[in-house]
Amino acid sequence: MDEAAREAVIAPHRRSGQLSGRCLCGAVRIEIDGNYVAAVGACHCVMCQRWSGMLFGSFVAETKAVTVTGPVRNYASSSFSERGFCETCGSSVWLRSTDPDEPEIELLPGLFKEAADFVLLSEIYTDLAPSYACLRGDHRRKTRAEVQAKHPFVEGDN
């Protein structure tokens, strides 16, 4: 899917406003004041399964619109991204690029009450999904081969 087609799918879900979220224990607070996408993408790659315990779901927000306070620890999960989690309770908080010019950050929808109304927009690594993590609905789906044909990297399948 080219960038124009991708934007056509995402555009109806673009929002601007405020959202407040928090981790399980409340030590980490996340505030969004700006642009975000009110839709979730799901990933079933082995790395995301190990990080989340099931599948990884996220939505994107403009990095400059996000303020995070509290004890967050980062883990460099690949050469190009890091994952953040609460040092106190272990709640996953974000996946973000290590490129300082990346304009977006992926946040976990479970941290935000309002995200319960977000739609499922896409699902990747569907061929690696455990049988108990079958997502229904009409959304874009890609297998490992389809994803890695465009974005090759080692996703941690050992």
Q: What is the pLDDT of residues 106-148, one digit of tens each?
A: 999 999 999 999 999 999 888 998 888 888 888 888 888 888 8
Least Cα distance to 107 among 140, 85, 128 occurs for 85
The per-residue pLDDT for 1 is 62
- Are 23 and 70 within 8 A, CB to CB? yes
Q: What is the pLDDT of residues 12-43, one digit of tens each?
A: 999 999 999 999 999 999 999 999 999 999 99
pTM more than 0.85:
yes
- Calpha distance 127→149 (Å, rounded): 15
Domains of the chain: 3-148 (3.90.1590.10)
For the cut 50, the answer to whether the pLDDT of residue 158 exceeds it is no
